[in-house]
């Protein structure tokens, strides 16, 4: 054990003195988190901007006025700052063209009569410059309101055909138009296994660069094999497994330290909390163990340091992208089951559970996934021929 610890300490000092480890394991992923959050943050969590609407509608048309009231009611929706101003129909296009308003709405003359008689009529929505999701919200609400008004008119027409008292027809139409839908949607709370877009980005980048960080141990092992140092070490009076185990310990320690720093610093920089420290620490240890197990396969497959770097990069990018390092990938069937075995995906899923308040007893599946991955890869590493040994 003394020999093992001596070799591990020596390799750790060598790696720490190598600035590329600090740059590639910590600085680069933090910088990439910042850039990706700037690029993708607004797409995932769009912020609604103040929006002005110019609306033209006949003042003597009750249904047209009711339609404008529906649009004005959007101003009470949380997060949406909406102002509706009245304008003449021939002014709406000019106001939107000059960016005085972001959305224009034109309700034509005879709107109410057309609905009541079942005749087609066109309501015009004009998009101004720089509009986005706000314009889509207004459009969707107007379409929904017009459909409800049409349903009320059709209900009244159907009542007239059925011979109902004309005095009741207006009440029926208004009730249908103004009544609440029988099926409603209620916004729920996100699953405990879901991180925010920023949280998933931080966790994903930590998982991706973990796969690169543990590769420094592989590179060191293959380089020493190329230079002949490994043969001299094997001639010393110590078990042969000590050398490979020391390299694995170096990879494991670097991975634990780098991933802990990335999650801690990334969480503070982007306002993300991953939950109970003990549960998060266990997830980190399991993820690093799964990533380090890949080192044994690469070390047996690669003959040169260049080959090990290429193999490491391919594996890291494939597992990182498939696991959701940049964006979540949804798959079903057997493909989805296979992707769930990805240690990066399991790490993100586990951090989602702890972020939602889960503890050690709640992260059993992600832990088993990562530990099972490590066990399978270690078995595979024993079955793969050692290409470097034939040199």
**pLDDT tens profile 301-343:** 877 778 888 888 888 888 888 888 887 776 666 777 777 788 9
Q: Are residues 131 and 147 in the same domain?
A: yes
Query: Would 386 be classed as within a structural domain?
Result: yes
- Angstrom distance (rounded) from CA 148 to CA 142: 10
Q: How many CA atoms are closer than 13 Å to the CA of 285, on its beta-carbon side?
A: 6
Q: Are residues 94 and 130 in the same domain?
A: yes
Residue 62 in contact with residue 110, Cβ under 8 Å? no
Q: Which of 178, 209, 243 is the last residue of a domain?
A: 178
Torsion angles phi and psi, residue 356, rounded to 5: -85, 5
Torsion angles phi and psi, residue 55, rounded to 5: -120, 135
Q: Which of 127, 152, 178 is the last residue of a domain?
A: 178
- The torsion defined by the Cα of 68, 70, 74 and 75, in degrees rounded to 10, comes to 50
- Taking only the tens place, the pLDDT of each residue in 139-184 is 888 887 777 767 655 555 555 565 655 555 455 445 544 554 444 4
Higher per-residue pLDDT: 355 or 5: 355
Query: Would 301 be classed as within a structural domain?
Result: yes
Q: Are residues 39 and 62 in the same domain?
A: no
Q: Are residues 58 and 26 in the same domain?
A: no
Higher per-residue pLDDT: 109 or 327: 109
Torsion angles phi and psi, residue 330, rounded to 5: -100, 125
Enclosing domain of residue 377? 9-43+196-390
Query: Would 189 be classed as within a structural domain?
Result: no
- pLDDT on residue 147: 75
10 contact partners, CB below 8 Å, separation of at least 6:
none
Q: What is the rounded average pLDDT for all residues in the chain?
A: 78
- Taking only the tens place, the pLDDT of each residue in 335-376 is 777 777 889 999 999 999 998 888 888 899 999 999 999 999
Does position 70 have pLDDT exceeding 90, yes or no? Answer: no
- pLDDT on residue 240: 66
Q: Are residues 314 and 375 in the same domain?
A: yes
- Angstrom distance (rounded) from CA 64 to CA 58: 7
228: left (phi over 0), alpha (psi -120 to 50) or beta: left
Q: Are residues 294 and 383 in the same domain?
A: yes
- Angstrom distance (rounded) from CA 153 to CA 177: 8
- pLDDT on residue 233: 64
Q: Are residues 165 and 113 in the same domain?
A: yes
Query: Would 190 be classed as within a structural domain?
Result: no
Q: Among the residues of 179-240, which ranges form H helices?
A: 197-213, 215-227, 229-234
- Furthest CA-CA distance within the chain: 106
- pLDDT on residue 188: 44
Residue (of 327, 318, 262, 316) closest to 291 by Cα position? 316
Q: Are residues 38 and 57 in the same domain?
A: no
Q: Are residues 163 and 217 in the same domain?
A: no
Q: In the structure, what pLDDT confidence band is assigned to residue 97 with cuts at 50, 70 and 90?
A: confident
- pLDDT on residue 265: 92
Torsion angles phi and psi, residue 48, rounded to 5: -75, 135
- Angstrom distance (rounded) from CA 138 to CA 165: 37
Q: Are residues 363 and 249 in the same domain?
A: yes
Query: Would 222 be classed as within a structural domain?
Result: yes
User: Tell me, what CATH number does 167's domain have?
Assistant: 3.40.190
- Angstrom distance (rounded) from CA 63 to CA 146: 9
- Taking only the tens place, the pLDDT of each residue in 241-277 is 677 778 788 889 999 999 999 999 998 888 888 988 9
Query: Would 300 be classed as within a structural domain?
Result: yes
Query: Would 185 be classed as within a structural domain?
Result: no
Provide the domain count of the chain. 2
Residue 54 in contact with residue 100, Cβ under 8 Å? yes
Q: Which of 178, 213, 239 is the last residue of a domain?
A: 178
- Angstrom distance (rounded) from CA 211 to CA 376: 17
- Taking only the tens place, the pLDDT of each residue in 177-199 is 455 444 444 444 444 456 878 88
Query: Would 186 be classed as within a structural domain?
Result: no
Quick one: which H or E segment has residue 106? strand 103-106
Q: Are residues 291 and 357 in the same domain?
A: yes
Helices (H) and strands (E) in the chain, counts: 17, 4
Q: Are residues 309 and 334 in the same domain?
A: yes
Percentage of the chain modeled with pLDDT above 90: 15
Task: Count CB-CB contacts under 10 A for residue 260.
Answer: 17
- pLDDT on residue 61: 84
């Amino acid at each position: 054990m003394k020999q093992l610890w001596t070799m591990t300490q020596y390799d750790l000092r060598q790696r720490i003195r190598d600035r590329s480890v600090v740059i590639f394991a910590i600085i680069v992923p933090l910088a990439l988190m910042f850039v990706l959050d700037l690029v993708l943050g607004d797409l995932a969590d769009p912020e609604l901007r103040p929006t002005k609407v110019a609306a033209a509608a006949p003042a003597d048309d009750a249904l047209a006025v009711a339609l404008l009231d529906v649009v004005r009611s959007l101003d009470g929706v949380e997060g949406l700052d909406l102002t509706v101003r009245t304008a003449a129909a021939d002014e709406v296009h000019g106001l939107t063209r000059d960016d005085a308003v972001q959305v224009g709405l034109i309700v034509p003359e005879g709107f109410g009569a057309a609905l009541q008689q079942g005749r087609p009529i066109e309501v015009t929505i004009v998009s101004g410059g720089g509009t986005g999701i706000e314009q889509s919200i207004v459009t969707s609400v107007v379409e929904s309101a017009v459909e409800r008004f049409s349903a009320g008119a059709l209900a009244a027409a159907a009542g007239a055909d059925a011979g109902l008292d004309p005095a009741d027809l207006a009440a029926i139409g208004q009730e249908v138009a103004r009544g609440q839908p029988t099926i409603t949607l209620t916004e729920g709370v996100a699953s405990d296994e879901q991180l925010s877009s920023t949280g998933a980005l931080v966790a994903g980048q930590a998982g991706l660069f973990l796969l690169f960080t543990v590769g420094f141990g592989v590179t060191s092992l293959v380089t020493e094999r190329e230079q002949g140092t490994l043969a001299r070490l094997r001639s010393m009076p110590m078990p042969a497994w000590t050398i490979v185990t020391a390299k694995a310990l170096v990879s494991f320690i670097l991975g634990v330290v780098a991933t802990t720093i990335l999650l801690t610093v990334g969480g503070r920089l982007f306002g993300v909390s991953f939950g109970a420290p003990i549960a998060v620490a266990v997830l980190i240890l399991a993820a690093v163990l799964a990533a380090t197990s890949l080192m044994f396969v690469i070390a047996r497959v690669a003959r040169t340091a260049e080959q090990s770097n290429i193999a490491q990069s391919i594996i890291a990018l494939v597992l990182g992208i498939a696991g959701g390092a940049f964006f979540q990938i949804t798959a079903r069937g057997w493909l989805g089951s296979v992707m769930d075995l990805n240690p990066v995906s399991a790490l993100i899923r586990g951090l989602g559970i702890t972020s939602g308040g889960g503890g050690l007893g709640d992260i059993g599946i992600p832990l088993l996934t990562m530990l099972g991955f490590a066990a399978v890869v270690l078995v595979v590493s024993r079955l793969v021929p050692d290409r470097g040994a034939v040199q």
